[in-house]
Amino acid sequence: MSFQTSRRDFLKTSTIAGAGFLVAAGSTAKVSRASALEGLAIAGIGVGGKGSSDIDQAALYGKVVALCDTDKNTLQGKAQNFKDSNPKLYTDYRELFAEMMDKIDAVTVSTPDHMHTIITATAIKAGKHAYTQKPLTRTIGEARYLGYLAKKYGVCTQMGNQGSTLDAMRRCVAQIKAGVIGEIQAVHIWTNRPIWAQGPNRDQTLAKYAEQVKKEEPDDAEELIEDMKEQVAKAKEKIDWDCWLGVAPKREFWPGIYHDFQWRGWWDFGSGSLGDMACHTANMPYGACDLKFPTEVVAESSGHDFNSFPASSKIWFQFPATENRGAIEVTWFDAKTKPDAALFEKYGIEKPTDSGAIIIGSKGCAYSPDDYANRYELRAVGGDALKEIDGVEWRKAPEDEHSGNFDARNKLEWVTAIKENKPELCWSNFPNFAGPLTETILLGNLAVWTAPEAGKRGETIKWDAKKLEVTNLADLKTPGVAELVRPEYKNDYEKIDWSFIDETL
């Protein structure tokens, strides 16, 4: 069955086409699982960790015809969940696309961050719909690129910041935009991440290990080295390491420090605490306060070696005035640090959580005590509750029997957009929301990069968000900043032609 045929039949037989989900608060958008959804052929790329639930939930709305993961054990294990559809299995996404591109309609991409763009872009350019995990990309320019491609090819896209479909989050955004806390004055966002290893001098190689044991255990060094070689070789058997590295520079495999979860703490593969959680925790403030187009950012950190992210950081973003608010500062805290306790006391907030956000306005504050704004409180100075503004409309996400799980609901919104051929129905679509959100968030990592010395503020990044340019790049002493804006892929992968940016201005 060709893509065009299956898509035409899919749209023609949809039972909810034209239902529309731009509805006011208090109304209900209910969707039953339409039989047409069975015709959506889906490939899951990266099916361990978060990718496991992503493909499971996508399977509620279509047929899984292919699975890809560089970890052979993970791949075989996940295949057991789909015996009925008998998906084809791959460790290299390029082989999957070469053999299955005309047999799939959509992909979920849940790999380490550094592979999000190359995989998602390839799918989009072939006309496939894409659900890609947060952060959308590892670097700023890649986020703009995926938004550009999604708009150019007219596909339906959604980023995996699943809190986007929560009623509470959307209602809070609408209330703040309507002025419930007055004029926006400042935003503070904090997280308990990292929960994986970060900090300098963490990499390991056989040569480094051998040098260490020769010093510490000289009598047994040769035996220990040979034993370690065997352990490394055995661990490497389960993974296609070259495919895992993908577009990143080559480095020696070492078990447990990159794959499978520790990659988040490495500059080549992940985007640290900010990339992991800000697409969640900053989601509500971004939507409510229009946090596009920052002009400056600066950070301080616990120190890093340009290889592994620092164990902790604090980042200050400056945003110019817009039609709807004045100029504001947004502050990011990680590693369980928070704003000053006096800020919470001012609004009667007791025992603030280890992850959350607070937006300060002229009439009071909006406080979310979780990563997704599934709960929020509107408080005046002193702690009294602020009354919500009556009649404020907000766009409700579709619902069905699965959407008690808001992660599944995020997938439902995506497939609803596919059925209605309306990419804009996805709240976190790449061109309008997910891409710009990711650009803003990842700007913070440029500042962290320039703050390698522990406890000392790094260099200030001055930023032209529309042009994707560091305007003071020539004045910076820290090397490598430009690579975090427009990366150059390694290992013969297709490189991005950055001239597309001119078309987005």
- Its pTM stands at 0.92
- Alpha-helical runs (H) found in 266-338: 272-281, 283-289
Assess whether pLDDT exceeds 70 at residue 13. no
Rounded distance between C-alpha atoms, residue 241 and residue 390, angstroms = 56
Instruction: For 14-73, write each residue's pLDDT tens digit.
Output: 322 222 222 333 333 333 333 344 589 999 999 999 999 999 999 999 999 999 999 999
pLDDT for 34 equals 35
Which residues, listed in sequence order, are joined to residue 159 by a DSSP beta bridge?
A: 132
Rounded distance between C-alpha atoms, residue 90 and residue 72, angstroms = 9
Q: If you average pLDDT over every residue of the chain, what do you get?
A: 92
Q: Is 221 or 37 the better-scoring residue by pLDDT?
A: 221
Residue 314 pLDDT level (bands cut at 50, 70, 90) = very high
Instruction: For 126-137, write each residue's pLDDT tens digit.
Output: 999 999 999 999
Q: Do domains 3-166+396-436 and 167-197+272-386+439-504 have the same CATH topology?
A: no
Q: Are strands 469-470 and 41-45 parallel, antiparallel or unpaired?
A: unpaired
* Alpha carbon 343 to chain centroid, angstroms: 29
Long-range CB pairs of 254-262, under 8 A, 24+ apart, other chains included: 254/203, 254/204, 254/205, 255/231, 257/197, 257/202, 257/203, 257/204, 259/70, 259/71, 260/48, 260/49, 260/71, 260/74, 261/49, 261/196, 262/196, 262/197
Closest listed residue to residue 198, CA positions, set 301, 308, 335, 277: 308
Instruction: For 232-256, write each residue's pLDDT tens digit.
Output: 999 999 999 999 999 999 999 999 9
- Catalogue the E-assigned strands of 407-488: 461-464, 469-470
Instruction: For 146-163, write each residue's pLDDT tens digit.
Output: 999 999 999 999 999 999
pLDDT for 38 equals 55
Q: Are strands 365-368 and 356-361 parallel, antiparallel or unpaired?
A: antiparallel
Q: Is 84 or 34 the better-scoring residue by pLDDT?
A: 84
Assess whether pLDDT exceeds 70 at residue 362. yes
Cis peptide before 194 (omega within 30 of 0): yes
pLDDT for 504 equals 83
Closest listed residue to residue 175, CA positions, set 417, 445, 376: 376
Closest listed residue to residue 210, CA positions, set 220, 202, 201: 220
Map out the domains of the chain as residue ranges: 3-166+396-436, 167-197+272-386+439-504, 206-256
Third-level CATH fold of 3-166+396-436: Rossmann fold (3.40.50)
Instruction: For 333-351, write each residue's pLDDT tens digit.
Output: 999 999 999 999 999 999 9
Residue that is written with structure tokens 């320039």 in the block: 450
pLDDT for 24 equals 32
Residue 11 pLDDT level (bands cut at 50, 70, 90) = very low
CATH code of 167-197+272-386+439-504, in short, is: 3.30.360.10
pLDDT for 2 equals 35
Average pLDDT score over residue span 182-195: 98
